[in-house]
Structure 1
Amino acid sequence: MKVLVTDPIADAGLDRLREAGYDVETNYEAEGDDLLDAVADANALIVRSGTQVDEAVFEAAEDLVIVGRAGIGVDNIDIEAATSHGVIVANAPEGNVRAAAEHTVAMTFATARSIPQAHARLKGGEWAKSDYLGTEVNNKTLGIVGLGRVGQEVAKRLDSLGMNLVVFDPYISEERAAQLGAELVEDLHEMLGQADFATIHTPLLPETEGMIGEEELAQLEGGYLINCARGGIVDEAALAEAVADGVLEGAALDSFETEPLPEDSPLLDVDDVVVTPHLGASTEAAQENVATDTADAVIAAFRDEPVLNALNAPSVDETAFPRIEPYIDLAETAGKIGAQLLDDRISEIEVTYEGDIASEDVELVTASALKGVFQPLEWQVNAVNAPQLAEDRGIEVVESKTHQTEDFQSLVRVTVRDGDAELAVEGTLFAGDDPRIVRIDGFRVDAVPYGHMLVVRNRDEPGIIGLIGTVLGNHDVNIAGMFNAREVHGGEALTVYNLDDDVPEAVIEELVADDRILEARGITLDEPNGREA
């Protein structure tokens, strides 16, 4: 078996592969046609961020089993193309967690005590002792944006140094935050208003791009901002201006929207902004860890063993797969709908199987339901890593089965909860493979689970359905299907509309302006987002 390595990794990873008996070839200059030639007979490809692994690579590498990313980010790997070609993609997210957390702590002290600035002036012959009055972290409040792996490690370290911790993470449970000694805050501005220091530990997603801008920086007035996560989360021009104008005392960044950092970046003109060239994972231990973790993934793939940190590799008995396959997408869709309709923080997810499906191995189906719940949360979420995301965030996952079912041969129910609040979405298959959502929060419906949906709760009064149809028509949104249910005559009703287009915000606003409409939400099932009034 041949392993092609096209970006430098630590020798420890290469040695492990050779010791396992595999042929390891390094080619750090390969790109374009040279890369396609080099990968043509490879069984595994190991990369970092320098190699673009696109559709053409998978087309050229007919014998490729796995692509291993020696690090976390997989922006340079076309995972969809890998999946279509049957190639596993695995990254190494754990290897540099400690290094990234330690660099965050180091940058916190660097900006709080003006260490780089004082160092530079002393090297230049100035004894500028009286020019720097530092800030101690003891008894100060640390605001953490994103309590994932790195955020949790930063929390542990700075908590031990006497800091008070507040966290903003829409998908972490209060219990998990409390375990780390942190207070969970519902609103980003509220958290920043409490913080003396704020550190960022969230992936770069459409919803996090530009998350920290002028308004958010104003909430952190008199404090310090540290970003060792991803560039693009912070508005760099606004940050430079905030520090220069004294809104913030200082800032420290290790990652930037454009890398290398351009010479005309406004960050370079502000003395109280500390910058480092993306060094968060640059420790000897971290490089060895990601190299050996990636090597272990390749070895497992070659041996047909489960691949840890696989991003696209479901595991199920080959003979059972045809029986559960139709339920995988159904469970994921039910999870998406439930997560977008529950107006609370999710602390528990229950996946229930009734009827014939209860006799099957449904681990992959449950993981797919979790994927649907978490898809607005985390870049790269899939059926493989969704269970780990639940564990990391302290979200309880319950799987239950019963061979009894009232109305259908098989039924899958995904229930999302937060304390007393809960919402259940149920689905089944008609004629063997035709998916339907048949119940939402107890209301019986018959909804086709695809594309764009509008879910409306309203008083059961004459004229409501006509109103909704008129509003949609006035905004050129065509109704493909409609499914109405009610509890009792004159009580509360729920209607699900399948639409040809996404629901404009103006439609939501116009609907809820009517007192008879209790709630209206647009849901897009082929995109991980939804809207509510």
Structure 2
Amino acid sequence: MKLLADENMPYVQELFGDWADITTCPGRDVSPEQLIDVDVLLVRSITQVNKALLAKANRLRFVGTATIGCDHIDTEFLTERGIAFASAPGCNKVAVGDYVLAALLKVAVHKNWQLKHKTLAVVGVGNTGSQVVQRARALGMKVLQCDPFKALSCPQSSPTDFVDLKQALTADIVSFHVPITRGGAHPTWHLLGKAEIAELKSEQVLINACRGEVWDNAALLARQLSNTPLTLVIDVWEDEPNVLVPLVPHVLLATPHIAGYSLEGKARGTFALYQALAELEQLTPAHSLAQLLPAPAFTRVELAACLDQPLLARLVGLVYDINLDDAAFRAALGQPGFFDRLRKQYPERRELASLQLVLDTITADPAQAQALGFKV
């Protein structure tokens, strides 16, 4: 079979090479002509798979996206055409949890905060949001969950388990983890709009690691230029790959949509599509996920002290230094094609679970270390 894949997807050749003749290209540049005589299309979030793109796809029978979200895929059109579809729910949830934890620790240093004394609201408690909830609770933070769909689907939950958006936006830190939707009972496009931004207090922190259009970037810039700016962590930007450049100097951490870009997360995404295609074509998988991943630079650390906030920050930085991503973003800002280039050339990043902590159980809690994302 003939297979076309986003060039930023890892392990495509290793996994699909036995089955397919593989071509790769930039995901944002896929054209209808490239899909002539192609059987399998593998994409990430930057490729809009719709009627226009598939206008010349005469043999296409499988589309896979190595992402959690599917808002870039016209699934109804695929169904009409009889084209099988698969996504990779949960593939990068751990990586996003790592990213937000690293961001929280950076915020704590910036504001001289003890996180255990602060409240975090998580807007959207799906795969990625639940990871953030878990880590925040392990930090000792009070957590507010905002997710009307989850609240309705969990009738056994207490009314205090979930809050509405207005209450969520009173938290010290608000982290967003929703898909982008424009219709329905709870649309998320500009969920944080001009009116909501105006009500926020200057001491508050906002984190966006989901979709750029969930925030009104222009309204945020206006707020940041006022005498009561907010503290912002932005991984996703409205109108990517374009970035509202004047906003960047007023952001504490700025990164190019890489929160979920761990090596493990990307590998899980590709592997999920490998399994889905094997099932569709009744092929026997010959590879495992564990075989793909190289050994990490650091594998084991012995701790003789309590896992307090300063020590945690050092351990997280040993595996993932979020400051390097921020520095690379600012250094490249404004250069032609910088956003996609940073994503394409993103350095190998491992998840916290690649590091095993050997704990003195008298001074450290193994359950806390595991909840924060480490192997124990």
The TM-score by the shorter chain falls in which range?
0.5 to 0.7
Query: Pairwise mapping of residues 397-476 of structure 1 onto structure 2 (< 5 A)?
Result: none
Partners of 2:253 and 2:156 lie apart in 1 by 31
Q: Does 1:277 align with 2:273?
A: no
Amino acid aligned to 2:37: D
Amino acid aligned to 1:97: K
**Residues 366-392 of structure 1 deviation map (CA, whole Å, 9 limit, x = unaligned):** xxxxxxxxxxxxxxxxxxxxxxxxxxx
Q: Counterpart of 1:23?
A: 20
**Residues 299-325 of structure 1 deviation map (CA, whole Å, 9 limit, x = unaligned):** 1111299xxxxxxxxxxxxxxxxxxxx
2:37 to 36, 41, 60: 41
Amino acid aligned to 1:71: T
Structure 1 residue ranges without an equivalent (≥5): 115-132, 306-533
State, as a whole percentage, how many aligned pairs show the same letter.
28
Q: Counterpart of 1:3?
A: 3
Partners of 1:104 and 1:177 lie apart in 2 by 29
Query: Pairwise mapping of residues 109-124 of structure 1 onto structure 2 (< 5 A)?
Result: 109-114=105-110
Deviation, structure 1 residue 211:
1.6
**Residues 236-275 of structure 1 deviation map (CA, whole Å, 9 limit, x = unaligned):** 233334345454551111101122343x5332242x5321
Partners of 1:31 and 1:232 lie apart in 2 by 18
Amino acid aligned to 2:13: L
Q: Contact 2:117–2:140 (CA<8 Å) still a contact in 1?
A: yes
Q: Counterpart of 1:145?
A: 123
Q: Does 1:188 align with 2:169?
A: no
2:205 to 202, 206, 224: 224
Q: Contact 2:13–2:22 (CA<8 Å) still a contact in 1?
A: no
Amino acid aligned to 1:3: L
Partners of 2:139 and 2:228 lie apart in 1 by 26
Amino acid aligned to 1:297: A
**Residues 171-192 of structure 1 deviation map (CA, whole Å, 9 limit, x = unaligned):** 223895997997311x322232
Cα distance change, pair 7–177 in 1 and its aligned pair in 2 (3 A) = farther
Query: Pairwise mapping of residues 323-338 of structure 1 onto structure 2 (< 5 A)?
Result: none
Describe the SS at the equivalent of 2:115.
coil
Q: Per residue, is there more strand in 1 or in 2?
A: 1
Q: Counterpart of 2:96?
A: 100
Structure 2 residue ranges without an equivalent (≥5): 285-376
Using structure 2 for the length normalisation, give the TM-score. 0.65
Q: Does 1:171 align with 2:149?
A: yes
Partners of 1:100 and 1:78 lie apart in 2 by 25
Q: Contact 2:71–2:179 (CA<8 Å) still a contact in 1?
A: no
Q: Contact 1:44–1:65 (CA<8 Å) still a contact in 2?
A: yes
Describe the SS at the equivalent of 1:299.
helix
Amino acid aligned to 1:2: K
Q: Counterpart of 2:281?
A: 302
The structure number with the bigger radius of gyration is 1
Partners of 1:31 and 1:162 lie apart in 2 by 41
Partners of 1:232 and 1:260 lie apart in 2 by 12
Out of 231-240 and 221-230, give the one that drifted further.
231-240
Amino acid aligned to 1:237: A
2:240 to 259, 262, 266: 259
Amino acid aligned to 1:26: T
Deviation, structure 1 residue 49:
3.7
Cα distance change, pair 183–31 in 1 and its aligned pair in 2 (3 A) = closer
Q: Contact 1:156–1:180 (CA<8 Å) still a contact in 2?
A: no
Q: Contact 2:151–2:157 (CA<8 Å) still a contact in 1?
A: no
Describe the SS at the equivalent of 1:144.
strand
Describe the SS at the equivalent of 2:60.
coil
Q: Contact 1:112–1:134 (CA<8 Å) still a contact in 2?
A: yes
Q: Counterpart of 1:156?
A: 134
Amino acid aligned to 2:67: G
Deviation, structure 1 residue 108:
2.4
Q: Contact 2:122–2:129 (CA<8 Å) still a contact in 1?
A: yes
2:51 to 45, 49, 55: 55
Q: Counterpart of 1:293?
A: 272
Cα distance change, pair 166–50 in 1 and its aligned pair in 2 (3 A) = closer
Using structure 1 for the length normalisation, give the TM-score. 0.47
Partners of 1:191 and 1:177 lie apart in 2 by 20
Deviation, structure 1 residue 23:
1.8
Amino acid aligned to 2:23: T
Deviation, structure 1 residue 148:
1.2
Q: Contact 1:14–1:24 (CA<8 Å) still a contact in 2?
A: no
Amino acid aligned to 2:238: E
**Residues 206-251 of structure 1 deviation map (CA, whole Å, 9 limit, x = unaligned):** 2221221344235441211111111121222333343454545511
Q: Contact 1:112–1:250 (CA<8 Å) still a contact in 2?
A: no
Deviation, structure 1 residue 59:
4.7
Partners of 1:259 and 1:29 lie apart in 2 by 15
Partners of 1:31 and 1:141 lie apart in 2 by 38
Q: Contact 2:15–2:274 (CA<8 Å) still a contact in 1?
A: yes
How many residue pairs get matched?
A: 279
Describe the SS at the equivalent of 2:113.
coil
Deviation, structure 1 residue 197:
0.8
Q: Contact 2:123–2:147 (CA<8 Å) still a contact in 1?
A: yes
Describe the SS at the equivalent of 2:98.
helix
2:77 to 75, 78, 81: 81
Q: Contact 2:205–2:232 (CA<8 Å) still a contact in 1?
A: yes
Describe the SS at the equivalent of 2:189.
coil
2:177 to 201, 219, 240: 201
Bigger RCO (CA 8 Å, 6+ sep) = 2
